[in-house]
Amino acid sequence: MTQVYNFSAGPSMLPSLVLKQIQQELLEYGNSKASVMEISHRGADFLELAHKSERDLRDLLSIPDNYKVLFLQGGASAQFSMVPINLLRGKSKASYANTGQWSVKAIAEAKRYCEVSLCTDSSANNFTDIQDFDDWNIDPDAAYLHYTPNETIVGLEFDYIPDVEMPLVADMSSTILSREIDVSKYGVIYAGAQKNIGPSGLTIIIVREDLIGEVISGQPKLFDYSTYSNNESMFNTPATFPWYAAGRVFEWLKDLGGLSAIQKINHTKAQTLYQAIDNSNFYSNPVSIKYRSWMNVPFLLADDSLNNLFLERSKEAGLLALKGHKSVGGMRASIYNAMPQEGVDALVNFMHDFERDFG
């Protein structure tokens, strides 16, 4: 197979070392004489894997002891409902930062359960900027504040953690494990696996213990965090294969030197690509420089009619899935943890040649 680099926004590329390891152990997991896909989640082999993956994730993120780690299904989208169901805790209001398309979806779902007050709203600038935190309007009666640290579609990423008294909730689907964070600042962190963790089908929740157990009555049992925290995420059958694969990704990340190491790599990758965009008159990115995403880099071509040619030629060059989201247009390069610097260098070289030939 020739070298390809996959810039898909999600499900996205996995580290090639991890894919090879999965291939090697796919038919027979450890001493179980069966595939990891075929063994009971309650058996010793799977339990050991489950415990190790949680320990590794706790190490990577330095998760304090008073936080539970849950391995759920339903994607980040299920959390759009689980968060209000579990966190309203008798209150009737929640505060949401509206900084992009994923915020919009979280807000729409929260409105089914409570009054939503927007503490900040970037819709007027097409989600290309974030209002100064000092100017946010946070309703003190809100049960919690929800925000999206990295907006995957527009490529808008916070470079700070909002400092609030109420529980802070973050949809970290497209930024978790990409840089160091202080988990103790959060009430709940959630992330669908298919960007920076592993295959789709798994959602990871990191939740402060004291926020578990007081849910809106009449809601499904599977939407109550305590259902999982009381049963080691095995009240019912978890997504065993993605869980296993996520464990292998955590090991890969630890071997690489953990979050301080990947943070440096990710920073350099993003710098390389934004510099190439900014140094050309042909490519552009509209996001406020301070809040440009390290993970998702949308860019427009000066001439829209060249988009299809760009996509064709880039695919031929082994650079996959660069088509931008339909709401933004142009291109988007997602450069999650699994994307090596060489992949970004190859993209930048291709962009340079394309501009020379057609720009």
Ligand X SMILES: *Cc1c(COP(=O)(O)O)cnc(C)c1O
Query: Which residue ranges make up the site for ligand X (CB under 6 A)?
Result: 10, 75-77, 102, 148, 152, 171, 173-174, 192, 195
Closest CA to 79 of 154, 153, 170: 170
Shortest Cβ distance from residue 198 to ligand X (Å)?
Answer: 12
Q: How many C-alpha atoms does 293 have within 13 Å on its Cβ side?
A: 31
Rg (CA), the chain: 21
Cβ neighbourhood burial of 225 (10 Å; 0-12, 13-18, 19+): buried
CA distances from 296 to 10, 22, 43, 137, 355 (A): 11, 26, 39, 28, 21
Shortest Cβ distance from residue 54 to ligand X (Å)?
Answer: 20
Among residues 176 and 346, whose Cβ is nearest to ligand X? 176
Active site residue 171: yes
CA distance 150 to 86: 23
What backbone torsions phi and psi does residue 118 show, to the nearest 5 degrees?
-80, 120
Shortest Cβ distance from residue 43 to ligand X (Å)?
Answer: 27
Active-site choice (56, 136, 171, 323): 171
Among residues 173 and 227, whose Cβ is nearest to ligand X? 173
Shortest Cβ distance from residue 94 to ligand X (Å)?
Answer: 17
Both ends of the chain: CA-CA distance in Å? Answer: 31
Active site residue 221: no
Among residues 98 and 148, whose Cβ is nearest to ligand X? 148
Active-site choice (56, 136, 195, 294): 195
Shortest Cβ distance from residue 238 to ligand X (Å)?
Answer: 15
Indicate the residue whose CB is closest to ligand X.
Answer: 75
Q: How far is CA 354 from the centre of its chain?
A: 30
Residues 323/331, Cβ–Cβ less than 8 Å: yes
Among residues 29 and 98, whose Cβ is nearest to ligand X? 98
Active-site choice (56, 68, 102, 269): 102
Among residues 6 and 174, whose Cβ is nearest to ligand X? 174
Active site residue 195: yes
Q: Cite the active site residues.
A: 102, 171, 195
